A and B are shown apart, each in its own frame.
Chain A
């Protein structure tokens, strides 16, 4: 069964450093998402992406965040200057179409720890 993959599985960084989280969505999917989950809290939507542009973003997704699809397979989330509160599990997801009833397939996540 096709799956979403994410790298790295764990990332430790110093406050103020830039990090790039990488995702490879399912190959025939056109819509991509990033979510995050702070330890012990609920999964929160960050951004959705289609046709090389952001479709929707939450208030969490401020100017420190950016997304990119640099080639035909990767989808990245960049945090420009990390803060302690960015420590969380970051999940990438993809779907074939962009309606909420469509199943989204989530990756295994990247655990980011900002020191």
Chain B
């Protein structure tokens, strides 16, 4: 699976848009990009997943350029409750693929008032 690289930490203020970029230079044709969120002392929670271009849900948007070597998670108008660690994962999609998720260190987002 492709290795991912993302900033260790980011700071923001309430109401701002936050963009967290993840690089995955060796992403394979069948791989998807998935983001999870983890609050302190809680289990990770799925945020969004995409293959190419743009995906948007009620929580976030995910931008994936044509070469798919990077992706950007966009959180609109963050609040204090968005303070968490955000993980970018590359997951394989082919028959018989492993189901286990490989987490990196993630990006620790701190939202200040």
Binding site for B on A (CB under 8 A): 4, 31, 33, 35, 42-45, 48, 55-56, 58, 89, 91, 93, 95, 98-109, 111
Q: Are B43 and A101 in contact (CB under 8 A)?
A: no
With both chains docked as a complex, state the minimum distance between the C-beta of B56 and any C-beta of chain A, in angstroms: 17
How far apart are the CA atoms of A4 and B46 in the complex, in Å?
13
Query: Which residues from chain B contact A104 at a C-beta distance below 8 Å?
Result: 46, 99, 101
How far apart are the CA atoms of A103 and B36 in the complex, in Å?
10
With both chains docked as a complex, state the minimum distance between the C-beta of A98 and any C-beta of chain B, in angstroms: 4
B102 at the interface (CB under 8 A from A): yes
Question: Contacts A42-B106, A44-B103, A101-B93: A106 and B43 contacting too (C-beta < 8 A)?
Answer: yes
Query: Which residues from chain A contact B42 at a C-beta distance below 8 Å?
Result: 108-109
With both chains docked as a complex, state the minimum distance between the C-beta of A90 and any C-beta of chain B, in angstroms: 10
Between A and B, 14 residue pairs with Cβ closer than 8 Å are A31-B99, A42-B103, A42-B106, A43-B87, A48-B98, A48-B100, A55-B99, A56-B99, A101-B34, A101-B92, A101-B93, A103-B46, A109-B41, A109-B42
